Chain A
Amino acid sequence: MDMVSLNIAGGILVSICRDMGVTLMRTSYSTIFSESLDFTCGLALPSGELVATGDFCPSMIGGMPLLLRSCVQEIDLAELEEGDVILHNDPYRGGLHTPEHTFFKPVFVDGALIGFSVAIGHICEVGGMAPAGFAGEATEVFHEGLRVPPVKIKRAGKDVDDVWRLLLANVRTPRYNYGDFRAMIAAVDLGERRMADLARKHGIESFREHVAALMDYSERRMRAEIAQIPDGRYTFEDYMEDDGITADAYKIRVEVVVEGDGLIVDYHGSSPQARGPINATLGVAWGAAYNAILQLTDASIPKNSGCFRPIRVLAPPGTVVNVDFPGPSVGGNTETHCRIANTVMGALAPGLRDRSAATDGASHSNFLFGGTDRRTGEFFCCYDLTPVGWGGRSFADGNDAVGGINGNCPHIPVEVFEFRYPWHVEEFRLVDGTGGPGQFRGGLSMSKTVRCTDTEMTFSYMSDRQKLSPWGIHGGQDGGRAELFIKRAGSEDWLTITQAFNKPSPSKFANVPIHPGDTIRITSPAGGGWGPVEKRDEASVREDLLDGFITPEQAVEIYGLRP
C-alpha cells in the first residue's frame, strides 16, 4: 500500500476522533469536559484493537487498548444491534477508575460489524462518599461511586430507561450527569456515522486493508524507535508519599528490558496494594507504560494498537500497580499514573539521554467540591485540576504550569470558575524559585488562592508530592513540593489540613466542611532540573532573574551568579 493513501486514511480517522472530541466538549454540561477536556475519543475494530484516537487525554489513550480488549470479551458481538450504545466504568475490567466512563457504539455497514466508535471521559460526580469523586479516604471501591460493568444504555437506537434511572439515581447531580452522558453519546454517534461513511465510500474490504496497514505501519515505526535504545535492563524507583489512610510511602519499581525492537515493562517489586485510593488498575499500569514510551519516541507515530504491539507490560496483581477487587483506585489514574509513567521514563533516561526529561510535578492536585446552589436549590459539583511544572529536558527548560503529562487537561479559567461556582479567586500565579535547578531548569509550579463567597460546601482533595520532591535527572536538582493550606473565616492563620482537621494525610482527604469566608491556597509541585547547574548558560540565569523565575538568593547560591 502506498504511503500517500495510508497517510490520507490515517489523517481522516484521526480527524473523525478530533471532531468527536469537539462535539463532546461543546455539548457537555460540566466544566471537566467543557473547559478541562478530560476525555478522549477513538475508533476501534471489532477485536477491540484501537484504530485511531484524538490527541486529548494521554492516560485514556494508553488505557483504551486494554479497556476495549476487556469489553469485547464480555459482550456477545452476535447480539449487538445497530444503534446500541454500551457503557462501562469498571476498574477491574480494563477500566481506569470509577469516574472514567466509556461509551462505545458498534459501527455497522450493510449489516456487517466493522468496528466501534468510542468516547471515554471523566464524569465529575459518580456517587460514593464524596461529592465530585476522589474520596481521598476511600478504602474500598464502594466508596468510589457506582460501578458499571459493560451494559447497554441504548438498544437499537432507543434509551434503555431502566439503566438510565439506575445510573442517575445514584449520583448527586443527575441533570449534569444526564447532559454529560448525552454529550458522550453525541460523540460516539458522530464517530459511528463518519466511520461508516468512510467504509461505504471506499468499500469495507479497502477500509479493513487500510486500517490493517496503518496499524502495521505504526508497529514498524515504534519498533524502529525502540531498536535505537541500547539493549539492556533499566531500573528505576519512585514513591507515592502516602495513601490517605496511613503515612506509609508506596514504592513504584520498574525494570524495562530492551531486546532488539521490543521492550518489556516489568513492575515486579512494587509495593503491595494500598488500603487507600492510590492503587492503579491494570488499565492504568498499561496506559502509564504506553504514555511513557510515547513521550520518548517520535510524536508522529500514529497512535493505534499497532504502536503498542512491541511493548509488553507486567503488573503483578494485588499491588499498587494492579489493584484487586474490592480495593480503591480513584487516585491511581491521576496521581499514580504520572508517578508510574515518570518511573518508566526515569529508567530509560540513561539509554535515551537526548530524549530524557526530569519528572514533572506528577500530581494533578485534584480540587473537588460540592454543595447546594443557594439560588436554585440544585446540588452542584466541580472537579478542577491544577497545572504543574514540567521537568527540564536535554534541550530546554521545563514548561511552566501546564497540565500533567497524563492529563493534558487545562484548569478552569478564572472567569468561568467564578461565574459557575461560589468562589472568588484572590490569586493565581506562577511560584518563583520552584523549578528544579539544573542546566535546564524545571518548570515553575503555580498557586491558586480561592475564597468561598456565600455557600456551605464540602471540599475533597487528591494530590501528592507534599513530602517527596519531584526529582531531577543527570545531575539536575529537585523541584519544589506541593502545598495546601486553609484559612478559616475570621482567622489569620494558614493551617495544613492535618492541623485543621486532624486528617492523616495532608494531600488526600474527603469531605472537609467549607464555610463562607474560608480561604484555600493550593500550590502544585514543580518540575525537576536536567543536568548540573554548573552547565547552565549565564544569560539564562540572568533572564530567569529578571523574569522573577528564580530568586536573587538562588541566582547567587545555586547558580553562582556574580553581581
Chain B
Amino acid sequence: MKFAPNKLYVESYVKCRNCGVLIYDAGRADAVTKDDAIYCSEWCVDWEADRDRRRAAAAE
C-alpha cells in the first residue's frame, strides 16, 4: 500500500502538466521532468511549448 506525500490517501495523484493523465509507476519510465513539472511524454513538453509560443505571438 502506498501513501500520498500528504499521508492522506493510499495513492499519490501525479498528473501530466499538459494533458492531465495520471502517471502511474509503469508510466514513469516515459515521464519527463521540466521546470519542476512532470509530463507523461516528450510530446506533451513540445506541445505545451508550441502552444505557449503561439498564444504569446497572438497576444502581441
Contacts and interface: CB of A to CB of B under 8 A. Distances in A.
A65 B36 CA distance: 30
A268 B51 contact: yes
A314 B19 CA distance: 4
A191 to B, nearest CB: 26
Contacts of A149: 10-11
Contacts of A282: 15, 20-22
Interface in B4-33: 8-11, 13, 15-22, 24, 26
B19 A325 contact: no
Contact of A314 (B8, B13, B18, B24): B18
Nearest to B4: A325
B4 to A, nearest CB: 8
Given A73-B26, A268-B51, A314-B47, A92 B13 contact: yes
Contact of B19 (A73, A93, A313): A313
Interface residues of B, number: 18
B5 to A, nearest CB: 12
B20 A315 contact: yes
A93 B16 CA distance: 14
B20 A93 contact: no
Among A73, A266, A325, the one with the most B-chain Cβ atoms within 10 Å of its Cβ is: A325
B51 A266 contact: yes
A316 B18 contact: yes
A75 to B, nearest CB: 12
A313 B20 CA distance: 9
Given A321-B20, A324-B13, 19 more contacts: A70-B22, A73-B24, A74-B24, A92-B13, A93-B11, A94-B22, A266-B47, A282-B15, A282-B20, A282-B21, A285-B20, A313-B19, A314-B18, A314-B47, A316-B18, A317-B15, A322-B15, A325-B9, A326-B8
A192 to B, nearest CB: 26
Contact of B17 (A266, A312, A313, A316): A316
Contacts of B24: 73-74
A92 to B, nearest CB: 5
A65 B34 CA distance: 28
Nearest to A267: B20
Contacts of A264: 47
A477 B10 CA distance: 50
Contacts of A268: 51
A268 B24 CA distance: 23
Interface string B17-60: 11111101010000000000000000010010001000000000
Interface of B: 8-11, 13, 15-22, 24, 26, 44, 47, 51
Interface residues of A, number: 23
Interface string A382-399: 000000000000000000
Nearest to B16: A317
Contacts of A324: 13, 15
Contacts of B18: 314, 316
A313 B16 CA distance: 12
Contacts of B44: 314
A313 B22 CA distance: 13
B19 A315 contact: yes
19 contacts: A73-B26, A92-B22, A93-B11, A264-B47, A266-B47, A266-B51, A268-B51, A282-B21, A314-B18, A314-B44, A315-B19, A315-B20, A316-B18, A317-B17, A321-B20, A322-B20, A324-B15, A325-B9, A325-B13
A93 B22 contact: yes
Contacts of B15: 282, 317, 322, 324
A337 B24 CA distance: 25
Contacts of A285: 20
A280 to B, nearest CB: 10
Contacts of A312: 19
A74 B10 CA distance: 12
A72 B13 CA distance: 16
Interface string A142-173: 00000001000000000000000000000000
B26 to A, nearest CB: 6
Nearest to A266: B51
Contacts of A73: 24, 26
A93 B23 CA distance: 11
A325 B6 CA distance: 11
A165 to B, nearest CB: 20
The 7 closest A-B pairs by CB, nearest first: A317-B15, A315-B20, A322-B20, A314-B19, A73-B24, A317-B20, A325-B13
